[in-house]
Structure 1
């Protein structure tokens, strides 16, 4: 597991992307045991790395439409897929870190005191939350606090 996370956390998206399919398959193994302490620990670590990798590299333009930016957007889709796999099992492991990221934006004057790439990643994550958290959760009548 540590090796997978090490590769996933690599700054080169092409290298990082090599383990995403394997990681999604690994995460799926926790489906029936997702509430266990070990599963929670592993899934939390995976979410943390995925959220960190969601930030675009300084060499790329946040608003750019070049080939590298398009490839990074595709890479983000793959990361969202991993987050979705986890979100279908444990919504709390997705919402809690996102809540902390949104609080970070609020504490930084609405994002004015943080790097634009980090702010953009947080906005993209919140905007894409509907893709990360399953529809059956979104349409439930339960109130989650």
Structure 2
């Protein structure tokens, strides 16, 4: 899986930051507007399923109109009371930095468990629990 990393000066950085602002709203997703990535994490955590199964469940919820997609922003809006409870439970059960699969993940479109760190001016990256290796962030 290829990962695109957007540094602060890149135009996509602001777009991703705006998407994140919808979700964070004070550090939590409880405003009921979610990105696809966060919604999959919440469903995965709540139903105790892997990412693929969580995506299937999300698709079914969309068909049943429990969630709807805002065409302008690309953000999901939660309509269903049960789904809203699922989000509240997620917030109460997991620290903010952990994803629905229990990994310490970066936001928003990185592989689950991927970590990034700046050490002595060199960007190091790797999966959680594995050795961090130097990576090239040039676009």
Same fold by TM (over 0.5)? no
TM-score (norm 2): 0.29
More RCO (CA 8 Å, sep 6+): 1
